[in-house]
Amino acid sequence: MFDALMILRKELESNGIRLLCAGARRDVSPSGMARSMGGARKVYILELGKPATALIDIFAAAPPEQIGTVKEQQSFRQQWITSLKGKMQ
pLDDT by residue for the chain (89 residues), tens only, comes to 999 999 999 999 999 999 999 999 999 999 888 777 767 889 999 999 999 999 999 999 999 999 999 999 999 999 999 999 877 65
b/e for 39-78, b at 16 or more Cβ within 10 A? ebebbbbbeeeeebeeebebeeebeeeebbebeebeebbe
pTM score: 0.87
Residue 38: what pLDDT? 67
Residue 75: the pLDDT is: 97
Q: Which residues contact 19 (CB under 8 A, 6 or more apart)?
A: 5, 8, 9, 12, 67
Longest dimension (CA), the chain: 43
